[in-house]
């Protein structure tokens, strides 16, 4: 279980302090798939990065299973079970997909085991396992490999920052299935997805709405989703596809 207590985060903008996250407190219980949504610029990705340790909050406290992890490094949090899939996956010259999956698993996986993670994200493993994680891969391919690294890490809290960004409609359906399967095998872990995609909101146990850095709504899917339909917090899949094609 992860608890955020009074988390705030600010940045310098033109010499002025700008607050991105304002006094956010929330609890992410185990065995739940939680989606954080809200308008662009509302602080969703920043909140995810604060949990992973990539950003340091200006005030507040983060507890993982009761332990204060506010001042732990990214590495230490990863070792304690936090996994993070980047919105824009990183490219590496020379590192192969197999290397990355093995690093994620933290042990020497067989090629067959590593391939199984690629298959889970809808990639034909044989075609990808020895590819370099470089610019020869498309945005959608990289995104799926990114998700596969989080699956291989098997974290107790898996954070996915806008997994739909840059993925085409066909792959998107596959992605929903990946998250559904993750949800089915959630066992003592939890999943946090940053998304404004209606179909991802649709598989959430709980939905949290962030706006202007503040937590404005929180509740079960059935409670929150009807309020969001038609707003930018819940975009239908076809619009997501159009947006990603335009990227």
**Structure tokens, 234:** 């819940």
Virtual torsion, Cα 40, 42, 43, 48, nearest 10 deg = -60
Q: Shortest gap between Cβ of 80 and other proteins (angstroms)?
A: 9
Binder of other proteins out of 153, 162, 165, 224 (CB under 8 A): 153
- Find tokens 């993925």 and name the residue: 167
Element (H, E) at 190: strand 190-194
Q: Does 95 bind other proteins (CB under 8 A)?
A: yes
- The yes or no reply on residue 111 touching other proteins (CB under 8 A) is no
By CB under 8 A, name the one of 71, 79, 181, 239 that touches other proteins: 79
Residues within window 114-133 making contact with other proteins, judged by CB under 8 A:
none
Residues 33-52 that bind other proteins (CB under 8 A): 52
Q: Which long-range contacts (CB under 8 A, 24 or more apart) does 3-6 make?
A: 3/27, 3/28, 3/61, 3/62, 3/63, 4/47, 4/51, 4/60, 4/61, 4/62, 5/60, 5/61, 5/62, 5/63, 6/59, 6/60, 6/61
Binding mask 192-231 for other proteins (x = CB under 8 A): ----------------------------------------
Residue 86 engages other proteins in binding (rule: CB under 8 A):
yes
Q: Is 156 in the site for other proteins (CB under 8 A)?
A: no
Closer to other proteins by Cβ: residue 75 or 110: 75
Helices 237-246 & 169-184 angle (0-180, nearest 10)? 120
Which residues bind to other proteins, rule: CB under 8 A?
Answer: 52, 54, 73-75, 78-79, 82-84, 86, 89-90, 92-96, 99, 103-104, 106, 149, 153
């Amino acid at each position: 279980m992860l608890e955020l207590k009074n988390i705030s985060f600010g940045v310098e903008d033109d010499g002025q302090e700008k607050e991105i996250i304002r006094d956010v407190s929330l609890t992410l219980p185990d065995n739940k798939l939680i989606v954080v949504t809200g308008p662009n610029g509302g602080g969703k990705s920043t909140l995810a990065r604060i949990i992973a340790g990539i950003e340091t909050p200006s005030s507040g406290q983060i507890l993982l299973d009761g332990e204060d992890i506010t001042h732990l490094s990214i590495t230490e949090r990863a070792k304690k079970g936090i996994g993070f899939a980047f919105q824009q996956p990183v490219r590496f010259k020379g590192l192969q997909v197999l290397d990355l999956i093995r690093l994620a698993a933290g042990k020497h996986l067989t090629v067959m085991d590593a391939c199984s993670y690629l298959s889970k994200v809808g990639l034909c493993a044989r075609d990808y396992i020895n590819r370099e994680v470089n610019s020869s891969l498309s945005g959608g391919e990289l995104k799926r490999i990114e998700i596969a690294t989080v699956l291989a890490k098997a974290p107790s809290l898996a954070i996915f920052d806008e997994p739909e960004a840059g993925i085409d409609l066909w792959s998107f359906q596959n992605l929903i299935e990946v998250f559904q399967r993750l949800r089915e095998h959630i066992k003592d872990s939890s999943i946090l997805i940053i998304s404004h995609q209606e179909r991802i909101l649709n598989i959430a146990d709980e939905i949290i709405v962030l706006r202007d850095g503040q937590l404005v709504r929180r509740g079960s899917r059935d409670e929150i989703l009807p309020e969001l339909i038609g707003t930018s917090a819940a975009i239908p899949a076809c619009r997501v596809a159009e947006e990603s094609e335009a990227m």
